[in-house]
Chain A
Amino acid sequence: GAVVSQHPSRVICKSGTSVKIECRSLDFQATTMFWYRQFPKQSLMLMATSNEGSKATYEQGVEKDKFLINHASLTLSTLTVTSAHPEDSSFYICSAPPGQGVYEQFFGPGTRLTVL
């Protein structure tokens, strides 16, 4: 299957700093990528849809100025958590479908963010 990577796998930062998480499709092009957040023992919650060459679409309740998404190429989307606070500590996962109309989404391994 197609491979999606994320970097870093784990990051610890101080409150008030910004953290950038990268999501890459390694062997296919992804015009769309999805960013999810998962709290312990909870399901994946879609945060936003990242669209190559255009603005991201955010889900209701997700602050677009806090969670900046950039999809500058067909293989890379980045999520920047700005002015991070302890409540932003979570597991962030990206996914990408390998083509339009394809049912399957390939998930990255996730990034665990801890804000002190």
Chain B
Amino acid sequence: QKEVEQDPGPLSVPEGAIVSLNCTYSNSAFQYFMWYRQYSRKGPELLMYTYSSGNKEDGRFTAQVDKSSKYISLFIRDSQPSDSATYLCAMRLNTGFQKLVFGTGTRLLVSP
């Protein structure tokens, strides 16, 4: 079993839709949870991060962490064609060593 599971997609939605992206994980010691966006042939860029459980909102993006279920989500409101990319969840322990464990990434396609 992988430490972090993520549906690879692709997930196709029309412009303006609400998108829900999810990851599950097995290591209950993970404390920091991040979402990265990766365009084709580019390096990942950090979108959101959350420490421990709870919600965090930034513009059209909302990140949720449910540690009891070992489940994290990223919601994108009013999705745009420019949101088309691969979204990677990542997480790490609460220690000084900053190793990240990534999900496989979900490819999102937003059609105009």
Q: List residues of chain A with CB under 8 Å of any chain B CB.
A: 1, 4, 6, 32, 34, 41-46, 49, 91, 93, 95, 97, 100-110, 112
Contacts and interface: CB of A to CB of B under 8 A. Distances in A.
Contact of B8 (A34, A41, A102): A41
A8 B35 CA distance: 27
B92 interface: yes
A108 B41 CA distance: 11
A105 B100 contact: yes
Given A4-B43, A34-B98, 5 more contacts: A1-B46, A46-B99, A46-B100, A107-B43, A112-B41
Contacts of B8: 41
Contacts of B46: 1, 104-106
B44 to A, nearest CB: 5
A91 B49 CA distance: 25
Contacts of A34: 98-100
Contacts of A42: 104-105
B104 A43 contact: yes
Interface residues of B, number: 24
B103 A43 contact: yes
Interface in B69-112: 88, 92, 96, 98-100, 102-105, 107
A95 B38 CA distance: 14
Interface string B17-39: 00000000000000010101000
Interface string B27-70: 00000101010000111111001010000000000000000000
A101 B97 CA distance: 8
B24 to A, nearest CB: 14
B67 to A, nearest CB: 16
B44 A107 contact: yes
Contacts of A93: 43-44
A100 B6 CA distance: 29
B104 A109 contact: no
